[in-house]
Amino acid sequence: MKRLLILSGKGGTGKTTIAGAFVRLMKAKGYADCDVDAPNLHLILRPKTTVNAKPYFGLAKASINFSKCMKCDLCRKHCRYDAISINSSGNYLVDPFACEGCGVCCYICPAEAISLEESIDGKLELFKDKTSVFSTAQLKMGSGTSGMLVSEVKKQLQPFEQDIDIAIIDGSPGIGCPVIASISGVDMVLIVAEPSLSGLNDMKRIISTAQKFFTPIGVVINRHDVNPTISKMIEKYCREQNLPLLGKIPFDRQVNRAVNAGQTIVDVDCPAKNEVIKVFKATIELFNSL
């Protein structure tokens, strides 16, 4: 099983829209949504049969046993994350959003009143029908370890890799932990760029990040005609970095209507659809040549 990852330097560039179109065009047998903070690929692809849904356990959290607590204050003083406080009743409380599960409080407590307990930080889901497998997850709001959850999403496809030629993976925007976990082990990265100043700078950052993994990179400009000047700057940058520009997709109001209706670009006849098909063909041609 080979993996094609679709990324963007910032949110709102159309990354998921293009990922959904690729899944539809390829009739992909395996695909995943690794944007675990805000997964939305399922909204346009509408998988139906859930074969596995399970809680995701992230970092353990400290828990204080009031009956054992001596109120010595050592745990609060030594917590570098300020996760322990005292309530109006004089009891020591742990803020689960601030606790990083480092275990210092457990180690230093003379009464052994503190323990680390498993914490449910999200949910993993796997959808399977007769033709395809879809892996996704939702991180609990305020929880960390998003990179670990992304790795779990990708692992869910492994038992089916014999049946999957190319897996389409929708990654997270930006350059943080979930993006790094998404890039690890993939065969190619397609970066969706937006012709704006922030889009240009964020594109450069994600390209720099992907290059550190020595992963082949392709670039596509979405809504290129919104700002032709910056589109040309993106093209120039790609030439300088020797990166293939695989296509330019025009701004098309019908795309928004399709997405709002829970459809992919290729489910409707519109100018953007024709260009996305060209981008898809160019991407697969480059992917197969690697």
Residue pLDDT, tens place only, 147-157: 999 999 999 99
pLDDT recorded at residue 51: 87
Distances (CA, A) of 244 to 95, 170, 221, 274: 48, 20, 11, 19
Residue pLDDT, tens place only, 230-266: 999 999 999 999 999 999 999 999 998 998 888 899 9
What is the enclosing helix (H) or strand (E) of 62?
A: strand 61-64
The pTM (predicted TM-score) of the whole model is: 0.90
Closest listed residue to residue 76, CA positions, set 53, 92, 57? 92
CATH for 2-56+123-289 is 3.40.50.300
In the numeric block, which tokens belong to residue 130? 């007769």
pLDDT recorded at residue 143: 81
pLDDT recorded at residue 284: 96
pLDDT recorded at residue 48: 81
| Residues 140, 120 contacting (CB under 8 angstroms) | yes
Domain 61-117 - what CATH class?
A: alpha beta
Distances (CA, A) of 93 to 63, 83, 114, 155, 212: 8, 8, 11, 36, 42
Place of tokens 């159309």: 14
pLDDT recorded at residue 149: 95
Contacts of 62 (CB under 8 A, 6+ apart): 75, 83, 84, 94, 99, 101, 103, 105, 106, 114, 115, 116, 117
> What are the domain boundaries of the chain?
2-56+123-289, 61-117
How far apart are alpha carbons 17 and 46 in whole angstroms? 13
How far apart are alpha carbons 184 and 195 in whole angstroms? 27
pLDDT recorded at residue 133: 96
Q: Which long-range contacts (CB under 8 A, 24 or more apart) does 269-277 make?
A: 273/21, 275/247, 275/248, 275/249, 275/250, 276/18, 276/21, 276/25, 276/247, 276/249, 277/25
Closest listed residue to residue 10, CA positions, set 151, 164, 194? 194
How far apart are alpha carbons 206 and 173 in whole angstroms? 9
pLDDT, tens digit only, all 290 positions of the chain: 999 999 999 999 999 999 999 999 999 999 999 999 999 999 999 988 888 899 999 889 999 999 999 999 999 999 999 999 999 989 999 999 899 999 999 999 999 999 999 999 999 999 998 889 999 999 998 787 899 999 999 999 999 999 999 999 999 999 999 999 999 999 999 999 999 999 999 999 999 999 999 999 999 999 999 999 999 999 999 999 999 999 999 999 999 899 888 889 999 999 999 999 999 999 999 999 98
Q: What does the CA dihedral 255, 260, 262, 268 come to, rounded to 10 degrees?
A: -30
